[in-house]
Chains A and B, each alone.
Chain A
Amino acid sequence: MNISDNIAEPTVYELSSPGRSGVTLPEPDVPVEELPTDIVRDDLDLPELTQLDVIRHFQSLSQLNHSIDSGFYPLGSCTMKYNPRVNEDAARLAGFMHSHPLQDVNTVQGNLALMYELQEWLKEIGGFAAVTLQPAAGAHGELTGIMMMRDYHLSRGDNARRKILIPDSAHGTNPASTTMSGLEVIELPSDARGNVDLDALKSECGEDIVGLMITNPNTLGLFEEQIEEVVKTVRECGGLIYGDGANMNALTGIVRPGDIGFDVMHYNLHKTFSTPHGGGGPGSGPVGVSERLVDFLPTPIIEIVEQGNDQDPPLYGFASPKHTIGRMKAFNGQFGVLVRAYTYIRIHGATGLRSNSEHAVLNANYLRSKVQDVYHLPYDRACLHEFVVEGRWSDAPEIHALDISKRLMDFGFHPPTNYFPLIVHEALMIEPTETESRETLDKFANALIQIADEARNNPELLLTAPHVTPSARMDEVQAARQLVLCCRPSYLSDPQYVNS
């Protein structure tokens, strides 16, 4: 069998040829010191390739990906908007890229000024008293925030509070973060309009509640209609409100969660503030807090340690909050991501940020209006930046949301988020973002409409989709049953993979 028939691209190990190398390093310019033989390894099984081999390999691989740069990517809850390239240039400025996290603060005032400014802007955008930039992603921010809420109660001798209320529409990280902080999850049902069920909330609220963790707009793309009542109810039992800010692309410049009574919220800089998703990360999940949680922030935060004057800028430094939960990460947050978010916010200013949210919402509602007659909307009211439809029809019983998703790939689109939120059957969660044009939205809507038609008239086309992608549907069951998690040397000798 020829290797190219059943392999899209060989692995680096298969491409390796003993004796090749991609980098020439300088000869030692100091006397050579013998390494202790008893601890030196015999073999190091890394591949051997030239630079050109490596470039071709990773170039070929990259071409197998869909990305924002290659086409529309309406992955709900992930805000796949245009990632401005200027952000990349900014993060690669030498002073940012090559400064060491443990340098004396006097030698990194540029970094600290940038971080301080970003803290201030995020405070202003969210309506919070303070912000930490340390968390590495949204989920890490959640963990940070929940720990702060827990410690807030403990510091007041309120030791019986062990439960976090979480709506059933929440993202999986919300309950997972709660468990990691040693607390217990109480799931709240949603009502018929997609809001938190107020009666259920009222019956769960009591002296054992740490607080409520709520996503607003929620994962259906809907603003909580009774948010003030929800906040009041939780407050009355002594609980705090955690806001999952993953959906801030709907609300930036529109409303400040701190103003409606949220005590904690994480931002996802890799969503709202356009930092690239990098094939899974890095993200950044700064957390904003209300006055009563300021002392619990992770250590350190950036402060002005000496006020500036007309001639001199202020001196920035680190500070440790009085009752800090501790450190969440080895160094100073995902600094390179912070630079990108700073750049984005600075470019837009308050008016630009508001306009982005307004147009994100416009795009979602426009797309929704185009497909609503063909796809069932389980919650039929105006959405914010995203909406959820059901990917199923009673007259096309074999078709699932996943089939629609796979078929969308044939049209050159990335599918929406599938099977989330869990409260919608066969969910397709669609978030177009503001940087997509009307033409793109029209094309996507037309594809969805055509697929709905195919579902009835030619279901096979969906069930066997995708047809034009680099790979056909993957056998996920085999992957889990016969675990192959790394290139084993045995591949090299396995006749199946050896070029004939």
Chain B
Amino acid sequence: MSYLPHTELDREKMLAACGVENLEAFFETIPNEHRFPQLNMPGPLSELEVLKELQELSESNAEATHYPCFLGAGAYHHYVPSLVNHMLLRGENLTAYTPYQPEVSQGTLQTMFEFQSMICALTGMEVANSSHYDGATSTAEAIIMALNHFRGKRTKIIISPTIHPHYRQVINTYTQGMGLTIVGQENLEADLDDLLTELDDQTALFIIQNPNFLGELEDLQGIENAVKDVGALFCVISNPITLGTMKPPGEYGADIVVGEGQPLGIPLSYGGPYLGFFATREKYVRKMSGRLVGETVDAKGKRGYVLTLTPREQHIRRDKASSNICTNQGLMVTAAAIYLSVLGKQGLRKVSELCYHKAHYAAKQIDKIPGFAVRKDQPFFHEFAVHCTKPIIEINKSLFDEYGLIGGYDLGQDYPHLKDHMLLAFTEMISTDDIQCLCDALGEIS
């Protein structure tokens, strides 16, 4: 299969115009002994054959539309209205690139602008960029922004032990060469009060996740004051679906709100592409990274949009840029913008409520099953931890093999004190029947 338009005649004429005999002639600057290697790869196929092969591969996976899925832990199976995908497949959305030339990119630019606006509305913040790679890299970028804000004079970062463990790992990778002190990883049982005692005049950023990785709602009241008292910045990692009903972090005095935008109309897709969102206060806008779209007018006075504050970015500032990000998650921004527009004020609230109700109903049912105890230290949203009397690995294996259910996340992998705890997530995709199946299965397994 080939997508080349060149006929034999085209090739002849074009080679002649270039003054060469054959295609090989273009490559004479390449060391001879390495030119034209024999690649050991399977031969070409037609589209039809490839699709068949891929169909088979994909069918060897279990997936959330066939197996009720109780896994969340940072990625969630939500309903995506059909029109989202249809609009993404429009070539003008799919096959454009970064809108460097605004006169022929107003569609992308206005979409990004509307996304920024809706993220601000959701989070209660004043400015939002038009994406990082995912929730984890957004969080790492929040740290870099805080360090830049303090011009490197403060080097301590406090992260709650209940932020997503993978985010913690990404933060550790990103900050290795930066000479920082990262507090909050030694004692994974530390609570918010313990963490607040770590605040001092060296602290640049205080990061918590709400709902936290265990699904619990943190008490955000009072954090702002404690953080401001030492002059540090306050960052909340947020789940946008929960913001459909819950007070936004902006109301609790957050300086930065980041998170994973995947729940906003983006399929699970085995972990990506997702959408890191990033919002902050206008006073920090020049320190934030990522593309920003601003409103302006064109030469005829017509409203339009452009990429703005670009001197923060790598293509201009190079080694002094606020981040190295270039290609971002553009199409996922479009997906989220369309999702938020079509769900709107009422729809998002409804999804949020449905998740909440299902999880709370399920928690009550599961708690009744002998051998299972729902952790009740704090209120939760749509995810909660259950203590089980058997290793989670075994329970999940039975759930899948015998009942066709995708079980929860094994918290013991990351939190030794939560050995034999399973994290279960509930979205609007889970029905009462699914919950009943899960409870029946757990009852039999225990």
A6–B302 touching, CB < 8 Å: yes
B34–A259 touching, CB < 8 Å: yes
Q: Which of A48, A329, A336: most chain B CB closer than 10 A?
A: A329
Known: A278-B94, A362-B26. A176 touches B324 (CB 8 A): yes
Give the distance in Å from the alpha carbon of A9 to the alpha carbon of B293 in the complex. 16
Q: Which of A291-333 contact B (CB under 8 A)?
A: 298, 325-333
**1/0 per position for B419-439, CB-CB distance to A under 8 A?**
000000000100110010000
A405–B101 touching, CB < 8 Å: yes
Residues of chain B within 8 A (CB-CB) of A256 are 34, 37
**Choice from A172, A330, A332 contacting B135 with Cβ under 8 Å:** A330
Residues of chain A within 8 A (CB-CB) of B360 are 33
Known: A280-B97, A329-B272, A346-B42. A370 touches B17 (CB 8 A): yes
**Choice from B58, B98, B164, B321 contacting A95 with Cβ under 8 Å:** B58
**1/0 per position for B1-30, CB-CB distance to A under 8 A?**
111111000110111011110010011011
A486–B120 touching, CB < 8 Å: yes
Does B202 sit within 8 A of A, measured CB to CB?
no
**Choice from A65, A282, A354, A469 contacting B272 with Cβ under 8 Å:** A282
A355–B4 touching, CB < 8 Å: yes
Q: Which of A28, A384, A435: most chain B CB closer than 10 A?
A: A28
Give the distance in Å from the alpha carbon of A66 to the alpha carbon of B285 in the complex. 29
Q: Which of B118-175 contact A (CB under 8 A)?
A: 118, 120-122, 126-128, 130-131, 133-137, 144, 164, 166-167, 169-170, 172-174
**1/0 per position for B178-189, CB-CB distance to A under 8 A?**
110000000000
Residue count of chain B within 8 Å CB distance of chain A: 207
A35–B245 touching, CB < 8 Å: yes
Does A335 sit within 8 A of B, measured CB to CB?
yes
Residues of chain B within 8 A (CB-CB) of A476 are 102, 296, 306, 308
Nearest B-chain residue to A25, judged by Cβ: B350
Does B206 sit within 8 A of A, measured CB to CB?
no
Does A207 sit within 8 A of B, measured CB to CB?
no
Of the stretches B222-230, B325-333, B369-377, the one at the interface is: B325-333
B121–A349 touching, CB < 8 Å: no
Does A30 sit within 8 A of B, measured CB to CB?
yes
Does A44 sit within 8 A of B, measured CB to CB?
yes
Nearest B-chain residue to A347, judged by Cβ: B1
Does A458 sit within 8 A of B, measured CB to CB?
no
A62–B42 touching, CB < 8 Å: no
Of the stretches A138-146, A198-206, A393-401, A448-456, the one at the interface is: A138-146
Does A75 sit within 8 A of B, measured CB to CB?
yes
Nearest B-chain residue to A79, judged by Cβ: B97
Residue count of chain A within 8 Å CB distance of chain B: 202
Nearest A-chain residue to B26, judged by Cβ: A361
B51–A254 touching, CB < 8 Å: no
A84–B325 touching, CB < 8 Å: no
Does A470 sit within 8 A of B, measured CB to CB?
yes
A111 to chain B, nearest CB (A): 5
Does A423 sit within 8 A of B, measured CB to CB?
no
Nearest B-chain residue to A227, judged by Cβ: B31
Of the stretches B59-67, B191-199, B383-391, the one at the interface is: B59-67
**1/0 per position for A335-366, CB-CB distance to B under 8 A?**
11101001101111111111110110111011
Q: Which of B55, B116, B128: most chain A CB closer than 10 A?
A: B55
Give the distance in Å from the alpha carbon of A33 to the alpha carbon of B309 in the complex. 46
Give the distance in Å from the alpha carbon of A121 to the alpha carbon of B95 in the complex. 25
Residues of chain B within 8 A (CB-CB) of A64 are 104-107, 110
Residues of chain A within 8 A (CB-CB) of B128 are 485-486
B146 to chain A, nearest CB (A): 15
**1/0 per position for A177-189, CB-CB distance to B under 8 A?**
1111111010000
Give the distance in Å from the alpha carbon of A143 to the alpha carbon of B289 in the complex. 16
Residues of chain A within 8 A (CB-CB) of B135 are 330
B133–A347 touching, CB < 8 Å: no
Nearest B-chain residue to A225, judged by Cβ: B29
Residues of chain A within 8 A (CB-CB) of B126 are 485-486
Give the distance in Å from the alpha carbon of A147 to the alpha carbon of B297 in the complex. 43
Residues of chain A within 8 A (CB-CB) of B29 are 223, 225, 382
**Choice from A90, A101, A251, A405 contacting B268 with Cβ under 8 Å:** A101
B200 to chain A, nearest CB (A): 24
Give the distance in Å from the alpha carbon of A83 to the alpha carbon of B94 in the complex. 9
Give the distance in Å from the alpha carbon of A469 to the alpha carbon of B103 in the complex. 6
**Choice from B94, B345, B356 contacting A35 with Cβ under 8 Å:** B356
Does A192 sit within 8 A of B, measured CB to CB?
no
A435–B3 touching, CB < 8 Å: yes
Does B416 sit within 8 A of A, measured CB to CB?
no
Residues of chain A within 8 A (CB-CB) of B4 are 355-356, 359, 434-435
Residues of chain B within 8 A (CB-CB) of A415 are 101
Known: A54-B342, A65-B106, A479-B295. A147 touches B31 (CB 8 A): no
A362–B15 touching, CB < 8 Å: yes
Does A260 sit within 8 A of B, measured CB to CB?
yes
Give the distance in Å from the alpha carbon of A280 to the alpha carbon of B99 in the complex. 7
Known: A279-B96, A474-B298. A121 touches B101 (CB 8 A): no
B203 to chain A, nearest CB (A): 20
Does A96 sit within 8 A of B, measured CB to CB?
yes
Residues of chain B within 8 A (CB-CB) of A336 are 267, 269-270, 272-273
Q: Which of A435-469 contact B (CB under 8 A)?
A: 435-438, 464, 466, 469
Residues of chain B within 8 A (CB-CB) of A286 are none
A32–B57 touching, CB < 8 Å: no
Residues of chain B within 8 A (CB-CB) of A251 are 30
Q: Which of B38, B92, B169: most chain A CB closer than 10 A?
A: B92
Residues of chain A within 8 A (CB-CB) of B337 are 12, 58
Known: A329-B134, A384-B26. A480 touches B272 (CB 8 A): no
B298–A475 touching, CB < 8 Å: yes
Give the distance in Å from the alpha carbon of A151 to the alpha carbon of B27 in the complex. 35
B314 to chain A, nearest CB (A): 4
A466–B95 touching, CB < 8 Å: no
Give the distance in Å from the alpha carbon of A106 to the alpha carbon of B173 in the complex. 28
**Choice from B59, B178, B291 contacting A182 with Cβ under 8 Å:** B178
Sorted from nearest, which 4 A-B pairs have the closest CB atoms? A182-B177, A331-B271, A69-B91, A278-B331
Q: Mind listing 16 A-B residue pairs with CB under 8 Å?
A: A8-B106, A11-B110, A11-B114, A28-B357, A31-B357, A39-B247, A62-B87, A65-B106, A96-B58, A108-B62, A136-B273, A177-B324, A280-B328, A331-B75, A362-B23, A484-B294
Known A30-B357, A185-B319; further 12 A-B contacts with Cβ < 8 A: A12-B337, A25-B350, A33-B357, A100-B63, A176-B324, A276-B95, A278-B329, A331-B75, A335-B269, A434-B3, A437-B6, A486-B120
